[in-house]
Amino acid sequence: MSAILRCTRTLLRLTALLLFVVALSVPAFADDGQAKKPLKDTPQRVPARATAVSVEHEGADTAGTRLTLQLKELFNTASLFNLTDADTPKINLLVSTQPEFSSRPEIGSAYAIVWVYAESKGNLQYYLGRQVGVVSDATAAEVAQQIAERTDGIAVKYGYLFGK
């Protein structure tokens, strides 16, 4: 009885191996018989993707204010964003800053950013993301660039909210 089981197992293994080899060779034969047609060289216009954004700042520290101004400048000049205060569907960046050290406010600022989606001014805003960190006058441009990149990622992730 055990000899029959061993033979059956061996036969099943050989059958599985044969099926595996046949499955690997079938696509190879199909590709050889068909000539691939080259794609047409007809460039097409890619639809523009400009996300409406708004930046609201809370704080009076210099590094935080510089960060907010850098963000607004990036959003105003980048083709991926449309900086607006209009009552349209948009991503609001709520930026809150304060001096890192109250005795030496010129050293740097702690910041917190919350991304929310607003359909209109009268509607509830929906949370999309958050970030906290420290910024100084020297690093404001770099941090603003990172925040803009994250904003673009959030805009892509939640693009369905804009109905595009």
What does the pLDDT look like over 82-122, one tens digit per residue?
A: 999 999 999 999 999 999 888 887 789 999 999 999 998 88
Closest CA to 149 of 129, 163, 134: 129
99-103, 104-108, 124-128, 138-142: segment of lowest average pLDDT = 104-108
Q: Evaluate whether 109 touches 66 at the Cβ level (below 8 Å).
A: no
- The CA distance from 160 to 126, in Å, is 13
* Whether pLDDT at 133 is above 80: yes
pLDDT in the model for residue 23: 66
β-pair partners for 98: 110
pLDDT in the model for residue 19: 67
The residue among 127 and 163 whose pLDDT is bigger is 127
The residue among 4 and 156 whose pLDDT is bigger is 156
- The CA distance from 155 to 108, in Å, is 29
Mean model confidence pLDDT for the chain: 85
- The CA distance from 132 to 99, in Å, is 13
β-pair partners for 117: 91, 126
* Whether pLDDT at 128 is above 80: yes
Q: Which residues contact 151 (CB under 8 A, 6 or more apart)?
A: 51, 53, 75, 81, 91, 93, 115
Quote the tokens at residue 84. 């607006």
Sign of CA dihedral 19, 20, 25, 31: positive
pLDDT digits (tens, 9 = 90+) for 39-58: 778 877 666 778 999 999 99
Q: Where are the alpha helices (DSSP H) in the chain?
A: 2-33, 62-77, 140-157
The residue among 3 and 133 whose pLDDT is bigger is 133
Q: Backbone phi, then psi, for 95, in 5-degree steps?
A: -110, 125
